[in-house]
Amino acid sequence: MITLSKKEMLLVSFMLFSMFFGAGNLIFPPYLGQEAGSLVWLSIAGFVLSAVGLPILGVIAIAKAGSFYQLASRVHPSFALIFPILIYVSIGPALAIPRAGSLAYEMGIAPFLPAQAVNSPWSLFLYTLVFFGIVFWFSLTPSKLIDRFGKILTPTLLTMIALIYVKSLFTPLGPTGVPAGKYATNPVVQGFLDGYLTMDALAALVFGIVIANTLRSKGIEDKKQLSANMIKAGLGAGMLLTFIYVILGLLGSSGASLGRPENGGLLLTAIMRQLFGTSGTLILGVIFTVACLCVSIGLVTSCSQYFHGRFKGLSYKGWAIILCVLSMGVANLGLSEILSVSVPILGAIYPIAIVLILLALLERWIPAHSSVYMTTVAVVTGFGVVDLMNLTFFNQGWNDILGVLPFYKEGAGWIMPAIFAGFVGVLLDLRKRTNRTGTGTTTTSPSK
């Protein structure tokens, strides 16, 4: 039996961390920290529960089920064909990869260009051409990702963020602010909902294939050992994510004197200028670029491996080319256009992914053949479609009706319908069991 060394396990965890940690993960925590103020620790605790907990549970769920396809098959074979493709397309070339390219441009190079160049579409085109060229080059050799991520990209990212925090200790940003809005009354709950909105649980389902293939390249083929090592990698990545989120949250909580920027990106820019002067923008640009590259490489690799395995007619390299070209094209539409189209769709898909993850973790009580999978996923999918229509076609005109559901205003109105559907599934399982028992009694009675 092959056993990974501690160093190899650390490198796999580093790789998974880099694949999770993108620009969005940089922006959310400091903004939360500033809004939470003196209650930052409570808000960060809630944030970590969902922003770290759900993705790591996703990795564990894939490890226990064997693959994303096997997990989705528990609902229905047709669902297992459609839903993974929908996930890979949505989180890949339709949103996350193009968004990473656009954000890397806006935070990494746009601040150093003259206004005329920034407003020119050619600037974004040339930047994304180089950006996705680098992504494609890294993605060509998935077997080397563990070394490139673990030994180069992740240490670079962690070192720069640690440098920022150490500098803040010697150059205090200012006093901790006063909690604002819902952070003042429900800091843990609001932090949890903010972490929920990162939608990293989708990435966990997507990245499982890369982690599994990386471990197989190390000679680990036994299913139990593969599952155990995937869980270890997930926990290691979770610890790193928690460490970074705490640092960024504390930085944000000390930024009360910087005003109230509209988003975490602007807040981070103000913090960096306060700490490092004009060079702070350059440092932040490098951090954003590295983070966006890591996420893009991980997603292109994951999607290419999945589509190559699903559709054998095209090679892995061919899929990588298609994904990079598509992502580059979408990135040049502009970040606002990308978000306006894709975010509502992801919002409808995300609850389905969470339900699948939670059901997989309850395998001891809810077996793979249980009706709970079908009923819960069907109801949550239906709710997602209705909510998507409400947001996109009816201008939130159904809010008065849907708002009756608990947590709807917080973006989690699917929870109560899912619980109700789960109970219905349990009742269906009991009925099936009763029918089987009754049939068994009937068939044996003539022989007596």
> What local confidence, expressed as pLDDT, does residue 359 receive?
92
Tokens 């009675």, located at residue: 445
> What local confidence, expressed as pLDDT, does residue 315 receive?
92
The pTM of the full predicted model, rounded to 2 decimals, is 0.82
> What local confidence, expressed as pLDDT, does residue 445 receive?
45
> What local confidence, expressed as pLDDT, does residue 439 receive?
63
Determine contact, residues 200/238, Cβ cutoff 8 Å. Answer: no
Give the whole-angstrom CA distance, residue 418 versus residue 379: 7
Neighbour count for residue 152 (Cβ, 10 Å):
13
> What local confidence, expressed as pLDDT, does residue 443 receive?
46
Determine contact, residues 331/128, Cβ cutoff 8 Å. Answer: yes
Q: Which residues contact 178 (CB under 8 A, 6 or more apart)?
A: 37, 38, 184, 256
- CB-based burial, 195-229: b 16+ in 10 Å, e otherwise: bbbbbbbbbbbbbbbbbbbbbeebebeeeeebbeb
> What local confidence, expressed as pLDDT, does residue 418 receive?
92
78: its two tokens: 């047709």
Neighbour count for residue 52 (Cβ, 10 Å):
23
Give the whole-angstrom CA distance, residue 56 versus residue 50: 10
* Coil vs helix vs strand at 145: helix
Mean pLDDT, 10 residues at a time, over the chain (448 residues)? 77 84 82 89 92 89 85 91 88 85 84 78 90 93 78 84 86 79 86 80 82 80 81 89 91 76 78 86 87 88 88 90 93 73 75 91 87 93 86 75 80 87 91 76 46
Give the whole-angstrom CA distance, residue 176 versus residue 186: 18
* CB burial of residue 443 (10 Å; 0-12, 13-18, 19+): exposed
Alpha carbon separation from 348 to 9, 35, 61, 342, 362 (Å, rounded): 35, 27, 20, 10, 23
Tokens 């390299």, located at residue: 317
Determine contact, residues 27/268, Cβ cutoff 8 Å. Answer: yes
What angle, 0 to 180 degrees and rounded to 10, lies between the N-to-C axes of helices 23-36 and 264-276? 80
Nearest to 14 by CA among 199, 146, 163, 191: 146
> What local confidence, expressed as pLDDT, does residue 20 receive?
83
234: its two tokens: 């997930």
Q: Which residues contact 198 (CB under 8 A, 6 or more apart)?
A: 24, 25, 28, 50, 51
**Side-chain-side CA neighbours of residue 327 (13 Å):** 39
* CB burial of residue 60 (10 Å; 0-12, 13-18, 19+): buried
Q: What is the DSSP letter of 151?
A: I
Neighbour count for residue 403 (Cβ, 10 Å):
12
Kind and range of the H or E element at 408? Answer: none
Q: What is the DSSP letter of 53?
A: H
